[in-house]
Amino acid sequence: PVPVVAVVGRPNVGKSTLVNRIIGRRQAVVEDIPGVTRDRVPYDAQWSGRAFTVVDTGGWEPDAKDRAAAIAAQAEIAVATADVVLFVVDAMVGSTDVDEAAVKMLRRSAKPVILVANKADNATIEMESTSLWSLGLGEPFPISALHGRGSGDLLDKILQAL
């Protein structure tokens, strides 16, 4: 079976942009409006001759209601059915209460998690991203999904974890 990598995080951190970067196509929908991806959307991906599935999800939020609750539930199913989880946070913003709540959810899942510090568009933000160690998920992996900075190294790290 092809290994599965789930991409999760709160709304607007750049999950879909990262998915597009990983698959090398602009297929996942990127929006300035939070909460555009409603379901779990699987895409075929390849790196260094290895095939895997990468799953885009909608923005995860704690204690969500109605539509947001359905989106969060789908993201949790994506985590439960993944081999590795990419937990995406916004390096420009730093860690938030919602990120901390997501960490608790991820711990319950007991899945291997790679902490992705996205929007590290330059060296300054990259350096500041070390503050994300506080989330307790180990070393933050700084990338810019938008510009491609660090994405090859991240893909190498994903393959190591699979």
Residues that bind ligand GDP (CB under 6 A): 11-17, 30-32, 34, 37, 59, 118-119, 121, 144-146
Per the document, the length of the chain is 162
Residue 42 touches which member of Mg ion, ligand GDP, none, C-beta under 5-8 Å by kind: none
Task: Find the shortest distance in angstroms from Cβ 7 to ligand GDP.
Answer: 8
Residue 142 touches which member of Mg ion, ligand GDP, none, C-beta under 5-8 Å by kind: none
Task: Find the shortest distance in angstroms from Cβ 8 to ligand GDP.
Answer: 9
Residue 144 touches which member of ligand GDP, Mg ion, none, C-beta under 5-8 Å by kind: ligand GDP
- Judged by the rule CB under 5 A, the positions of this chain that interact with Mg ion are 15-16, 37
